[in-house]
Structure 1
């Protein structure tokens, strides 16, 4: 007889972003159960249910009322989150939410506060943190191997064609809350902030290039100063054809670590080197979902174990507010042309 699953999750929203979630849940079958799926398009829900052998919920209310559902994976567009979060927290359902939490820092803070007040677990899908190379880099930072962090460089040279932005609502303030910063670069920026001191101030500019017709930015660059007085830079775009692998470089007083996709290269000041992983894609090219589901699998398993044990998940909603605050600061600085302080969260 198989063991009882450690958690039963419902999946809400079945757009492009759920592909790795569904594949990961298939790998976790028996450990993490799927109580059912829901989508605004019943036909889409039925198709996914047939493919994976899941049940279908006919309403959000049915999920909230289901005693067998411990929590949800919420993968709707950002502008649909608040109402669903209100319903699920009232029902005591734990929430694993696709990035971003919401369209603005203030709205994201409201979601985090609501979940904390209700006593439900809120996890956020920043799967880049679960790559083996990123985990090794975290070890090197935490144990002091790199020395004092002096300089940070993040580069996201991705590509999205015009058809991507022709999808109704995509790249708009009303649905997504922004462009490349909140929809694509947010992953690398979150990973960066998980390895550095808090970002303190920003000087930035954003633009929409000739590559796209869209409401929001497809290019952003910023100079950063961190709380420990380290400095850094960010360049993010979806206008670089055909798209390249993103990179994060940490320059410490004892060594320099270069994380490029799933590969880590470390050059120590004593002349020795360390390499780990391969520069696997993370969705920077024409297919935004061209990456394995392993990182989602480990993240979902961590969230399920957090529900089971009562501990916080690896990436909490409160922690995710840091990257929202940074994106807010970059946007404000670009709008005013001035250096701005990053709001403390």
Structure 2
């Protein structure tokens, strides 16, 4: 069995991988949903857009479910505290996601313009709201969340839903929304042709530039925000006890890891370069390469957030010493070990069947295909 501290680091990395997998895989079909009402101008064009992701969207949800399950099992204190503090925000995400399965399954069952248009906007809500909320949540994590623990490690959240919608968090929401729209646009451009592809490329290029502007702006803003720093001795092998340390807040603390490890600057560099190269490749019609570089940009954005906060996972603004970190909020060594080996077995299976599904259903989705397969297509 691996030592406890190593397992804690491994699961910090694995949760990051799952978040990145969710952003890349479920993110591109959410991005397609966001673009749906704008790049499809009539019923056939919108069915073309929907059919690029229709066969895959539910399989991509595996990343979302697995990510949530991994947080629950690996960081139970984080899961309990986050879902308590962000309760209404998570409900908004859940309500928005309701539109996706119903919209994909029932949108084209009835030949009625009002019915179909309603579900098109439902799919737009299901694709655009979750990335915005997730970005706002990360923006709040970087500022600290108002929660505290009592002696029995029962958490109390003292904020409210409207406090989550602060300016920095909304800017982080713009970063998240723009990068997911870019990701969806790169995928949609690869799967379509003609006027739909032209409109998609314009939209995805705009999203890429917006992501870069918002990401760079958030980076400069972050330097003036009070970050968190542990000032006491850290026992990396200790059992979960977030109250056993001392934490201070100071401006620029989130930049400390970049000062100590300059190679971490490659992550924000990857985010910016990936988005800019994506916009160029889309203009040149290298759509598959654009999807790859867009995915790398997502790796850069999420990696930047993780590297900035490490070892913090969920800082507390009302009781800094109660901040949850990689070292003091993880499950037991046995739990982390069993989960690790389960991941080693099942992760390749997930990647394998996903790759097979995309290889079987590759190629362009065209208006002619929709007309010829009116009852089979979405």
Task: Return the TM-score normalized by structure 2.
Answer: 0.25
Q: Identify the structure with bigger relative contact order (alpha carbons < 8 Å, sequence gap 6+).
A: 2
Q: Which has the larger radius of gyration?
A: 2
- Whichever structure has more helix as a proportion of its residues is 2
Task: Return the TM-score normalized by structure 1.
Answer: 0.26
- Whichever structure has more strand as a proportion of its residues is 1
